[in-house]
Structure 1
């Protein structure tokens, strides 16, 4: 459905700039992105799976990127930052103490602004770098979700 919509999107040259919003809203209303029962995982709506995506960062494909609307920060584990050749010695310090999933508090090693590519879109996002052994290679929290204007669906 999304691929069909993107393939059909065409804005005529004669559309004036101040009418563009109305034009796009009309197209979106007629071509809403929706999900059906066919889009559910095998276990249906009873699943409790997290929402993971894959993205590009520094010309490297990064899998197991957790989308977490409950997190107020974007996080990258120290070991992943090292693999992406983030210069840890030149990081601006971070005064944040981050509470992990297990309730433990951990000080961030620093913060890094990284360019990430999600689908066709580039984002420049601030990540807190922390030593953690989580089940993710990156965590995109509310700062990125709001920046992207995303509406994540853990159901589908």
Structure 2
């Protein structure tokens, strides 16, 4: 809790009063976990309106510095190579491989009444997700994300709005990612072939 210290006078000890905020505060409590399976290590996955369509399997990653669009969404939005702006900086995928982007595209992302234009880097690599929403989107809207609570919160017209994640879809995406991973040779087989 934040406290404001008032100057002490000779009549007694220093008084502590809670700091009063003139606007709503974004925070999470144990009540925000109601409806989630606890404990868990699930990614924060949700449905967002991107380019005018409700898009499922969007992962919110506050550790990433760029919004990413994967082939399923690129094809689903019927985008063409000529719709993309050049983007030539290589990216590193989850499996540690270098990926060269196909390009970049700016699309509207609607979050309740708020609509912001976001630059997506389009990559042609497998992912169980359709897109990754990262710090640029989070910071533009002032979103606070909590994987533990499986939701994001943000202010809109002095109200706290929230979007709930979907743990079932997050688990499906994890299974799909593990299933898609190439099988590694066991160390015994590697030693025999040497």
Which category describes the TM-score, using the shorter chain as reference length?
0.7 to 0.9
How many Å apart are 1:112 and its aligned residue? 0.2
In the superposition, relative to structure 1, how do residues 34 and 145 fare at CA in structure 2: closer, same or farther (>3 Å)?
closer
1:94 aligns with 2:87: yes
What residue in structure 1 maps to residue 69 of structure 2? Answer: 76
Higher Cα Rg, which structure: 2
The answer to whether the 8 Å contact 1:116/1:124 transfers is: yes
Q: Aligned partners of 2:26, 2:44: CA distance in 1, in Å?
A: 18
The answer to whether the 8 Å contact 1:55/1:119 transfers is: no
What residue in structure 2 maps to residue 26 of structure 1? Answer: 22
How many Å apart are 1:61 and its aligned residue? 0.7
What residue in structure 1 maps to residue 164 of structure 2? Answer: none
The answer to whether the 8 Å contact 1:92/1:110 transfers is: yes
What residue in structure 1 maps to residue 37 of structure 2? Answer: 42
Q: Tell me the alpha carbon deviations over residues 58-93 of structure 1, each in whole angstroms, 9 at most, x when there is no partner.
A: 331101111101111100012311211223223111
What residue in structure 1 maps to residue 122 of structure 2? Answer: 129
Q: Aligned partners of 1:133, 1:47: CA distance in 2, in Å?
A: 25
List alignment gaps of at least 5 residues for structure 1: 1-24
Q: Aligned partners of 2:67, 2:27: CA distance in 1, in Å?
A: 27
Structure with the higher strand share, 1 or 2: 2
SS at match of 1:26: coil
Moved over 6 A (4+): none
Q: Aligned partners of 1:120, 1:37: CA distance in 2, in Å?
A: 27
List alignment gaps of at least 5 residues for structure 2: 1-20, 150-194
How many Å apart are 1:131 and its aligned residue? 1.0
**Pairing of 1:12-23 with structure 2 (within 5 A):** none
Aligned partner of 1:62 among 55, 58, 62: 55
Q: Aligned partners of 1:113, 1:92: CA distance in 2, in Å?
A: 9
TM-score with structure 2 length normalisation? Answer: 0.60
What residue in structure 1 maps to residue 96 of structure 2? Answer: 103
What residue in structure 2 maps to residue 154 of structure 1? Answer: 147
Q: Provide the alpha-carbon RMSD of the alignment.
A: 1.6
Q: Tell me the alpha carbon deviations over residues 13-40 of structure 1, each in whole angstroms, 9 at most, x when there is no partner.
A: xxxxxxxxxxxx4142xxx444332332
Q: Aligned partners of 2:83, 2:26: CA distance in 1, in Å?
A: 42
Structure with the higher helix share, 1 or 2: 1
The answer to whether the 8 Å contact 2:104/2:121 transfers is: yes
